[in-house]
Structure 1
Amino acid sequence: MKPSSKPSSRPSSSTLICLIAIAVGVAFDKGVWQIPREWNPFAPLVVSDPVTPVTRWKLKALSGDREACLAALKTATDIDYTPLGDYTAAAGCPLENVVRLSSTQVAFSSSFVASCPLALAWTMYERHELQPLARQIFGEGVSRVQHYGSFACRNIYHRENARRSEHATASALDVAAFRLEDGRRISVLEDWGDGGERGRFLEAAQAGACHYFGTTLGPNYNAAHANHFHLGMRGVSFCR
């Protein structure tokens, strides 16, 4: 006869998982462990926090929360903006949760109306991507940005039967050029793909924007974007 097998004294894998889950829960409850704010989807967004995969989710969540978005904007430094009440700038294009952005760490070619999430996304992009990139490549930061505007009450490509453009809700900004602190100008139209440091800067600047904006379009997308970057909040990481 085969000897009878003795029951194992080791806990099962499911029991171990359960015990670990209980231990982790107790640790969080007692304050022994804390989720870093930048990784906590329920913690308010702070502009200076490190960027994580949760950051994009937080930005998207602010599209319908005016107070939380304005609170996040208040955490930014070197920014001049004015919160605006909801209004209809043109028939068929009501604007909600918008601000007028006058300047950030850069001066703009003109102030512009932007949805609060767009203003916030730009501020974070500028701080975490654009300025470090400019200093890395050129040894100095960006001082001025030329743009073609944010709000336009129209359909995509002005087509009669197309859906509304992101510009119809002031949720996109068209950026044409960057000026460095020493006065050098880097133009999307003139310097894209030049094979030098200016072209390298523009390619990296567009790639970096994809971490903050839902839609990022440039010269490689189509001829309509040969002279600017389209930085919009619609979608999730559509980067061309």
Structure 2
Amino acid sequence: MRIFGLIPPPSKEEHQRARIWAAGALAVLALLMLLLLIGSPPPEEADLMPPALRTAQITAFQDDVAACRAALEGAGFETVRLPDREEGRCGYEDAVALTQSVHAYSQPVTTTCAVAAALVLWERDVVSPAAQRRFGQAVTRIELAGSSYSCRPIAGRRDGRLSEHASANAVDIGGFVLADGRRVAVAAGWRGSSAERGFLRDVRDGACDYFQAVLSPDYNRAHRDHLHFDLGRDDMCR
């Protein structure tokens, strides 16, 4: 019996058409959402790159000092450009003094900007976690073994080839001072306690990701008391 004023229930055919329409609408909506996710370019202002100071840029920084200094500043570090220096076969151009880094230094760091960039990356990504892992505390000061710039040949060579220090392209690390005042020296710690040996090898091995040449007491007696890092032409990690 049909009751007056009420809408009759839909037929089986109408149910089927409604289901087909709903399924089609959902498929179209899903396709639109997928296109929005993978087909639309990001806004121009979106920063899809890692921070400006990163390992891959160290080589480029050797030729682009302005970009190097800008990257250091953008990462929270400070440098001061130094006057160019000429000293016979030695000297440097566009060198910097690293005035604010992750750690304090025992004396001024005077190097090329690319070496300074590699140095602070090594401090941040290698030295700091290694100190926490091996000693459970932070490094408060890094001790240099002599001046970063030095007009001299490579020790032990007879051909007179100049050291990378002669162009401010190297730095020598003599030791580290921990938060509790303890000093971890390369000379004594290389064969010292297990924590000292582990830490010094951690920071040596980690430096190989940032510098072209990394030399330690394992290399020769000339490096028995320091770690040598440079961005020269020799590819070495010993």
Q: TM-score, normalised by structure 2?
A: 0.75
Counterpart code for 2:191: G
The structure-2 alpha-carbon separation of the partners of 1:158 and 1:83, relative to structure 1 and needing over 3 Å to count, comes to farther
Report sequence identity in percent. Answer: 33
Q: In the alignment, what sits opposite 1:227?
A: 225
Mind listing any 5+ residue stretches in structure 1 that lack a counterpart?
1-26, 39-44, 50-54
Q: CA RMSD in A?
A: 2.3
Q: In the alignment, what sits opposite 1:67?
A: 66
**Cα distance in 1, alignment partners of residues 42 and 114 from structure 2:** 32
Q: Based on CA coordinates, which of the two structures has the bigger radius of gyration? A: 2
**Residues 8-47 of structure 1, C-alpha deviation per residue, up to 9 Å, x if partnerless?**
xxxxxxxxxxxxxxxxxxx799349x99524xxxxxx623
SS of structure 1 residue aligned to 2:81:
strand
Q: In the alignment, what sits opposite 1:91?
A: 88
Q: Which moved more, 1:163-172 or 1:101-110?
A: 101-110
Q: In the alignment, what sits opposite 2:12?
A: none
Deviation at 1:168, TM superposition (A): 0.8
Q: In the alignment, what sits opposite 1:157?
A: 155
Q: In the alignment, what sits opposite 2:133?
A: 136
The structure-2 alpha-carbon separation of the partners of 1:29 and 1:236, relative to structure 1 and needing over 3 Å to count, comes to farther
The equivalences for 1:178-197 within 5 A come to 178-197=176-195
Q: In the alignment, what sits opposite 1:46?
A: 52
Aligned pair 1:108/2:114, yes or no? no
Contact 2:91 2:151 in 1 (8 A): no
Deviation at 1:204, TM superposition (A): 0.7
The structure-2 alpha-carbon separation of the partners of 1:217 and 1:28, relative to structure 1 and needing over 3 Å to count, comes to farther
Deviation at 1:140, TM superposition (A): 1.3
Aligned pair 1:30/2:27, yes or no? no
**Cα distance in 2, alignment partners of residues 116 and 168 from structure 1:** 15
**Cα distance in 2, alignment partners of residues 93 and 230 from structure 1:** 19
Deviation at 1:182, TM superposition (A): 1.1
